[in-house]
Amino acid sequence: MNQSNDVNIFFDKMRESLVDHSFVKLTLSKSVGSNKDFKNVYARLIEIKGNIQLSFTLRYATKDEVKNFDLENGIQQIKDWIGVQFLNADLFTTQEDVVLQLNKKRKARLFIKKPSIQTIPNIQHDRSKKRWLEVSNSLYLNEMGITNAAGNILKSGQKKFRQLNKYIEIIDSVLNNHPLPKHPKIVDMGSGKGYLTFALYDFLTRSKTINPTIVGIELREHLVSYCNDLAKQSNFKNLSFIAQDIMDFPADQMDMLIALHACDIATDLAIAKGIKANAEIIIVAPCCHKQIRKDMNCTNAMQSVLQHGILAERQAELLTDGIRSLLLEVHGYKTKVFEFISTEHTPKNVMIVATKSKPKPELLKQIAAIKKQFGITTHYLETLL
Ligand SMILES: C[S@@+](CC[C@H](N)C(=O)[O-])C[C@H]1O[C@@H](n2cnc3c(N)ncnc32)[C@H](O)[C@@H]1O
């Protein structure tokens, strides 16, 4: 339908309520579509495997049907219904009730009323319970521009904060199954500005009964001195940063290795150090995947698919991380590869979690077969092991 200003405002308000967590529910009514049995839609938020989704109950004359969408597709679905299947949309937030009404000619009118529901739905309660990081009195979150001086999360810091929470939630769940020793050594390779390194130190020392030593390894010296200063100011005694290439870092004993978005082969360098140091846990979220992209030279039927740059890029990504995971398994780790945060927050969202297990040398054959199929001469990680 033609998007009038009122319709746009309605969707802006819906988006806002999803961002600031004031969304309660949404109802579509006054059914006018070709499907006469399709009477209403009731939308609410649910959390599935850590992802927030819009759950729609589609009410038909004789049955209900439930469909879940990620937020972006959910909003699009509502847009598609309005003016086609339904003339009324009621958005309930804890701030206001927003009513969109269309007449038979599809002319829209918007009404904004005081909120009729001020209690936050369960999911919001769950979400606040699942705040893994302490925001008040947190100097590093303030210094990194995530919170203001009063300890409230800034609008501009919400995305980063959500990412950090998600990382910590994942790490917590890994540690519950693979407890670290009382004084573990943790290395964060390619620590950058140190967002996760600080959050992890803070979380472990506050919430777990362990006393870790965490070292961040980072090429850029100015970031290293910034992070060391901040660690001192924060009184994080066993958190420090070293200006060094991951390649030169000695693969001495370490219990856990993390490398988030370490560029291209830096992820391979990090994984190799973790394996050599016999780390109990290795967690990486790879970034760009240039090495395999350049080395891939497919001559079989797949060639016709991979002639498209974007598809070749995605294939290279899949192969790079797939072979990383297999190599980890060969070298005695059990791996899990998953999307750890919605693409809405970052497109770099694949995570490999590897925990110590039994070596599986038999997987080398599969790696060789995959490489042959895609004309890959070498995966950089292999050369390091
Ligand atoms: C995209 S940033 C990610 C920073 C941080 N891990 C995060 O997730 O916020 C990648 C960082 O890795 C660093 N880096 C890349 N290659 C490196 C290497 N070989 N040795 C040390 N640091 C490296 C870069 O300087 C950059 O700061």
pLDDT tens by residue, 267-298: 999 999 999 999 999 999 887 778 888 888 88
- CB of 326 closer than 6 A to ligand 1? no
Q: How far apart are alpha carbons 324 and 173 in whole angstroms? A: 22
Tell me the two tokens of residue 229: 């200063």
Torsion, Cα 28 31 37 41, to 10 degrees, reads: 0
Q: How far is the CA of 124 from the centre of ligand 1 (A)?
A: 34
**Count of Cβ atoms closer than 10 Å to residue 162 Cβ:** 17
For residue 269, which atom of ligand 1 is closest to its CA? 19
pLDDT digits (tens, 9 = 90+) for 216-257: 999 999 999 999 999 999 999 999 999 999 999 998 889 999
How many other CB atoms are there within 10 angstroms of residue 29's CB atom? 15
CA of 333 to the centre of ligand 1 (A): 24
- Mean pLDDT, rounded, for 344-371: 87
Q: How far is the CA of 188 from the centre of ligand 1 (A)?
A: 9
For the segment 102-134, what is each residue's pLDDT rounded down to a tens digit?
Answer: 999 999 999 999 988 776 666 644 444 456 787
The whole-number average pLDDT for the span 20-48 is: 90
CATH 3.40.50.150 domain range(s) in the chain: 130-384
Least confident of 107-116, 148-157, 183-192, 324-333: 148-157
Q: Is the CB of 45 under 6 A from ligand 1?
A: no
Q: Which atom of ligand 1 has the smallest separation from the CA of 246?
A: 20
pLDDT of residue 128: 44
- Yes or no: say if 37 and 61 are a contact pair by the CB < 8 Å rule: yes
317-320 LR contacts (CB < 8 Å, sep 24+) = 317/286, 317/289, 317/350, 319/292, 319/370, 319/374, 319/376, 320/286, 320/289, 320/291, 320/292, 320/379
Q: Is the pLDDT of residue 366 over 80?
A: yes
- Between the CA of 113 and the centroid of ligand 1 the distance, in Å, is 49
333 pLDDT band, cuts 50/70/90, is very high
Q: First-to-last CA distance in the chain?
A: 58
Residue 225 CA to ligand 1 center (angstroms) comes to: 15
Under DSSP, is residue 50 helix (H, G, I), strand (E, B) or coil? coil
Q: How far is the CA of 196 from the centre of ligand 1 (A)?
A: 12
Question: Is 228 buried (19+), middle (13-18) or exposed (0-12) by CB count in 10 A?
Answer: middle
Mean pLDDT across the chain, nearest whole number?
88
Between CA 331 and CA 334, with CA 332 as vertex, the angle to 5 degrees is 120
Nearest CA to ligand 1 atom 27: 192
The preferred substitution site among 163, 214, 218 for testing ligand 1, maximizing ligand atoms within 8 Å of CB, is 218
Assigned CATH for 130-384: 3.40.50.150
Long-range contacts of 304-313 (CB under 8 A, 24+ apart): 313/289
- The residue whose CA has the least distance to atom 23 of ligand 1 is 190
Are the C-beta atoms of residues 86 and 67 closer than 8 Å to each other?
Answer: no
Position 130 scores a pLDDT of: 53
CA of 257 to the centre of ligand 1 (A): 14
Residue to probe by mutation, ligand 1, list 146, 161, 188, 191, most atoms within 8 Å of CB: 191
| Backbone phi, psi, residue 144, to 5° | -85, 5
